[in-house]
Structure 1
Amino acid sequence: MYQMKLKSFNAFNMISVDTKKNEKKNGGYAGLMSTGLAPYSGTWSRVQAAHLVRRTHFGMRTNNLNYVRSFPNATQAVTALVNTAKNTPLPDNPQWYNSSNSSNILHVYDTQFRWMDGMYNGGLLQRMMLFWSNHFAVSYSNMNALPDKAPNSYASHMYKYWNLLHLQAFGDFKNIVTQLSKNSAMVYYLNNYNNRAGAPNQDFARELMELFTIGPTDKNGNDNYSENDVAEVSRAVTGWRVNDSALSSFFDASRHDAGSKTVFGQTGNYNLDSVIDLIFEQRREQAAWFLCRKLYVFFVSAEPDNTVIDTMAAYCIQQDFDIAEVLTNLLSSAHFYQERFMGCRIKSPIELYMSYLRELEVTPTTQIKEFIRLRMQDSNEELLRPETVFGWDGYNPPYSDGSPGHYNWINTNLMPARWDNLNNLINGSGGTGTSFNPITLVEKISDPHNPFTIAEDLARYILAVPLNRMEIRVVEEDFAGDPDLAPNVAGFPEYKINLSKILLGTIPWYEWRVDADQSNNLFYQPVFAESIRQYISYLQQLPSYQLI
């Protein structure tokens, strides 16, 4: 069985190659440079709206698609999504929060489950929280494993960190850096609580520049800071400790190095706040470019276009690093809606599983969320537990050799597991306990009595890649049933004919009658529901389903 699936994995590579051929043939790169970040003014159709939903939510849902299509253009749709996300209130704290036993690992899992609920019901806010959790990486396992770190309340520290991602998701970048730098979980994670005058610890100072603000080099490969800068910044950020019972960090002046420091050639009595100010004063362009490159990779393509990022960075500076403005500008741009970006990035594990649940409209029960949590562990993307201080490579810009980070999400070992996990979710097997009614889904997105329409609509619904760009299995056999009664399919594109045959299988097209009401014995027949289920299983095994 896996031998056949691995052939499909090779087909995924073919899709990537074919897409790039089409871009060059159609002048895609020239068009890319000319459009920049000008607002998208083309047709606001289902195609563009679906692309926006997939990139700002976790998978497709009919209510999200209908909502963004209710606006006359992309700019208004994006503005509404951003405003909704910005104004989403914090959820109520769990009962265990700030309790004496909040070191319980089950409480961390509860936070993960709450996040999954947010991903299922929400959208752009959860996307940005995931972006920031990768950018400002903090892992619960670090505090759990070391006895001197948050021994009694690491789950509450992680919950407070998670809440801060919510609160700061769309603020100005400098303030986000400052607030996350002072967060108790971060102070623990990067050992800044051990950083004091006379005994500096450089962990946080290095990551503040390398990972949080400017990166090691600028866009031209020039160093953004020196080792002496790291040493001096580490002195500036001394004095921070954590009050474990209060779940907060605090500044202890007795542990702070109050001497003068020289950073980027500038001398002063810097502390944490003022040295962050200095970074944004002296490395403003570098900070904007570093941030915008990561936003571009997360929302547009794993292969960044530096020309467009230059434009993004200039706009970011113009807007004083206002994340909401920068993101609105990007997601409303003509560049974002180019067809070549539809289905160009590999789904991460959390994107894969949460999008599947949303597309099937299966509410994640505790049992399902536990299944996903375990699968996330297996694939090294457990929420609140990034692989390293760099976050997850799959979300990050390309490596120094130019290879995109998103290739980390798939290989010959991970692909069979991804397929099996999706099959468990749709079939209720493997401990998932999923309850899925295929006909109810079809009634929401298509004409349930027309198998040809169903075949095409379902494929468009769950696949990000345009159908005319995909390799779909050719079915040589005729439609089942009396050939004299075969429909007039001459006008159908080849992909629609083949998809319809795959859906119908041995069922004659003229016998297709479905109804979600199981009491309707005439139209509700399990064979039709099973055909839809098997058809969705076929679609999710296509290489294109791995793309967003």
Structure 2
Amino acid sequence: MPNLDTFSGNWTEKEARHLLKRSSFGVTQNLVTTSVSLGLSGTIEKLFEENPLPEPPLKYLLDGVGNDEINDPGANYGETWVTSPPYPEVATTQERTRIYNSRNRSMYAWSFLQMQNAEISIREKLTLFWHNHFVSENSNPHREYYYTDVLRRNSLKNFKELVKQITVDPNMLIYLSGSQNTESAPNENYARELLELFTIGKGQAFGNGDYTNYTEDDVIAIAQVLTGWRVRGVQQTEALTSWFSNFNHAKGNKNLSHRFNNAVISENGANEYKDLIDIIFKQDECSRFISRQFYIWFINSELSAEIETNIIEPLAKIIRDNNYDIVPALKVLLSSEHFFENTFCMVKSPIDLMLSATKSLLFSAPKTSVNDEYNFAYVLYLAATDLNQSYLHHPDVAGWKAYYQEPLFYKSWINSYLLPKRLDYCRIIVSGGDLIIDEKKYTVPPLVPVLLIASRITNAQDPTILITELSNQLFNYPITESQITTLKDILIPGLPDFEWTVEYSNYINNPSDNAMRISVDNKLRNLIAVMVQMSEFQIM
């Protein structure tokens, strides 16, 4: 029977790798070794440490007027554009559009760098979770940055307070028409999503406009509560903050339905939305709703009646007991026997896949220049986008289908069109080559340090040990004897084991022999390029 009892088994590399894969992006052997030394409780504490926030994104295109250059009045090369005005004062609309595009690209690349560079920390995984939970979109890079900054700053904090901040965030007010919601022209977009997608869920219909957790009349009343919030145009000062217009606010009390115990929200001007959210969060279903979202994100998409009773309900109680601080519940969930029983049941998201194929194989952004570093990360963003997970650009307000659409859930990431692309992108990251995205070519050099990876495996001159250890690192569970035999044939086609033993040993003894080095590098690269295309690498 599933339960939230603390995992009591042996803490080995297998368990450490499972926890780190699910709670972060990509796992190096060094991080696994550190986690094993920390133990389960030590790793959990490390994951939830409050680390300093990252420095803001930089202008990474060189100064100039060429195709790969830009003159941004808000920032020189290597400086952040975040502190500059959100509306560049330039001569033409075309110039402004180019500046916006360069800042957008910087924002996307920088976001991938945060995920790539995070070590034993859950913050970036939770930031992406909230990004998928509170879907919002805006083409202005400043508003994108400040929105994700709210998510990152609050990623380990209080769910209820985050909902309050999101409700009056300029990005969300624009995206779901909250800035157009006035007493004379009420707009129900945000009110509806606040209930259905962000806090409590819809549930089954019991009558016309009456659902398990709210009614259509509640949507109407909540829209009135939220009237009056405005956002200034991007050309204006204070464009990045919202403001309250009492003139546009619907006055008087607002009455909620029996679903909220007929609560009355009294007139309270600019603070009325806070009163509303406090009332919504008095419903226990809010804790169950977010518990299910965490469960699907971190554990499994199958929410059976047994899971509801033995996992969701006690998890929800922990959240309520902590007044919607989420960390205590997540620590229990990720430390549980149930978490470590649910392995290899989740198809990696495109972002997880791309960062598994880079970080796990010690392929990091080049440190030669800001331009090189950001260009590397931007290609990862484009690849994930091409695989249907576009950061900051969801398909709809419900988020990515993998986390809500039954019955496929994670399988949404794979179909006859996407799977060949996934496999090819993984291969190219290892072997190098050209990624063709939207008919544009991006060249990926063969920078995975395959010789370094092999050097960290004891007795790598034995092809069985080499392949077994690589599979443990990449797949986190044993492969079959027949798979090992097949992979040996990739490493040393048609040759006996000792041929690899001799060649690798000769290389170790003569590392300055360039021809020998190239030969061993090619063999290892071919082997690992095949392994990252195996179905075992697609799941975690």
Q: Pick the TM interval, shorter chain.
A: 0.7 to 0.9
Tell me what 1:121 maps to.
Answer: 117
Given candidates 334, 338, 346, the residue that maps to 2:337 is: 334
Given candidates 52, 71, 91, the residue that maps to 1:88 is: 52
Tell me what 1:405 maps to.
Answer: 409
The answer to which of 258-267 and 154-163 deviates more is: 258-267
Whole-angstrom CA distance in 2 between matches of 1:156 and 1:505? 54
Given candidates 36, 40, 45, the residue that maps to 1:79 is: 45
Q: Deviations over 1:177-199 (max 9, x none)?
A: 11111211111111100001121
Given candidates 492, 496, 505, the residue that maps to 2:493 is: 505
The runs of at least 4 aligned residues of structure 1 exceeding 6 Å deviation read 218-221
Whole-angstrom CA distance in 2 between matches of 1:517 and 1:119? 38
Once the two structures are TM-superposed, the CA of residue 132 in structure 1 deviates from its matched residue by 0.3
CA 1:518 to 1:423, structure 2 compared with 1: closer, same or farther past 3 Å? farther
Pairs within 5 Å for 1:98-177: 98-99=84-85, 100-101=87-88, 104-122=100-118, 123-140=121-138, 144=139, 154-177=140-163
User: RMSD in angstroms over aligned alpha carbons?
Assistant: 2.3
**Quick one: which amino acid aligns to residue 96 of structure 1?**
W
Whole-angstrom CA distance in 1 between matches of 2:153 and 2:510? 45
**Quick one: which amino acid aligns to residue 158 of structure 1?**
E
Given candidates 349, 364, 388, the residue that maps to 2:396 is: 388
Contact 2:129 2:297 in 1 (8 A): yes
Tell me what 1:233 maps to.
Answer: 222
Once the two structures are TM-superposed, the CA of residue 512 in structure 1 deviates from its matched residue by 3.4
Contact 1:138 1:384 in 2 (8 A): yes
Q: Structure 1 vs Structure 2: percent identity of aligned residues?
A: 25
Whole-angstrom CA distance in 1 between matches of 2:225 and 2:508? 65
Tell me what 1:479 maps to.
Answer: none
Pairs within 5 Å for 1:272-311: 272-281=273-282, 283=283, 285-304=284-303, 305-307=307-309, 308-311=311-314
The answer to which of 56-65 and 327-336 deviates more is: 56-65
Whole-angstrom CA distance in 1 between matches of 2:509 and 2:230? 61
Once the two structures are TM-superposed, the CA of residue 522 in structure 1 deviates from its matched residue by 8.8
CA 1:219 to 1:57, structure 2 compared with 1: closer, same or farther past 3 Å? farther
Q: Deviations over 1:501-543 (max 9, x none)?
A: 5433345243232558985229943222212111112212211
SS in 2 for 1:336: helix
Whole-angstrom CA distance in 1 between matches of 2:278 and 2:446? 50
Tell me what 2:74 maps to.
Answer: none
Matched, 1:258 2:270: no
**Quick one: which amino acid aligns to residue 425 of structure 1?**
I
CA 1:516 to 1:206, structure 2 compared with 1: closer, same or farther past 3 Å? farther
Contact 1:191 1:204 in 2 (8 A): yes
Whole-angstrom CA distance in 1 between matches of 2:516 and 2:294? 47
Once the two structures are TM-superposed, the CA of residue 393 in structure 1 deviates from its matched residue by 1.1
**Quick one: which amino acid aligns to residue 530 of structure 1?**
N
Whole-angstrom CA distance in 2 between matches of 1:517 and 1:369? 36
Pairs within 5 Å for 1:375-454: 375-394=383-402, 396-399=403-406, 403-430=407-434, 431-454=443-466
**Quick one: which amino acid aligns to residue 189 of structure 1?**
Y
Contact 2:57 2:110 in 1 (8 A): no
The answer to which of 176-185 and 229-238 deviates more is: 176-185
Once the two structures are TM-superposed, the CA of residue 445 in structure 1 deviates from its matched residue by 4.2
The answer to which of 447-456 and 287-296 deviates more is: 447-456
Whole-angstrom CA distance in 2 between matches of 1:228 and 1:416? 48
The answer to which of 58-67 and 182-191 deviates more is: 58-67
Whole-angstrom CA distance in 2 between matches of 1:518 and 1:223? 72
Once the two structures are TM-superposed, the CA of residue 259 in structure 1 deviates from its matched residue by 1.5
**Quick one: which amino acid aligns to residue 471 of structure 2?**
A
Contact 1:241 1:251 in 2 (8 A): yes
Whole-angstrom CA distance in 2 between matches of 1:420 and 1:428? 11
SS in 2 for 1:70: helix
TM-score scaled to structure 1, two decimals?
Answer: 0.81
Once the two structures are TM-superposed, the CA of residue 89 in structure 1 deviates from its matched residue by 2.1
Contact 2:109 2:375 in 1 (8 A): no
SS in 1 for 2:456: helix
Matched, 1:46 2:45: no
The answer to which of 448-457 and 517-526 deviates more is: 517-526
Whole-angstrom CA distance in 2 between matches of 1:517 and 1:252? 76
Tell me what 1:355 maps to.
Answer: 356
Once the two structures are TM-superposed, the CA of residue 448 in structure 1 deviates from its matched residue by 3.4
Once the two structures are TM-superposed, the CA of residue 93 in structure 1 deviates from its matched residue by 5.5
**Quick one: which amino acid aligns to residue 353 of structure 2?**
L
Structure 2 unaligned blocks of 5 or more: 59-79, 89-95, 366-372, 435-442
Tell me what 1:14 maps to.
Answer: none
Whole-angstrom CA distance in 2 between matches of 1:406 and 1:204? 27
CA 1:124 to 1:219, structure 2 compared with 1: closer, same or farther past 3 Å? farther
**Quick one: which amino acid aligns to residue 274 of structure 1?**
D
**Quick one: which amino acid aligns to residue 112 of structure 1?**
Y
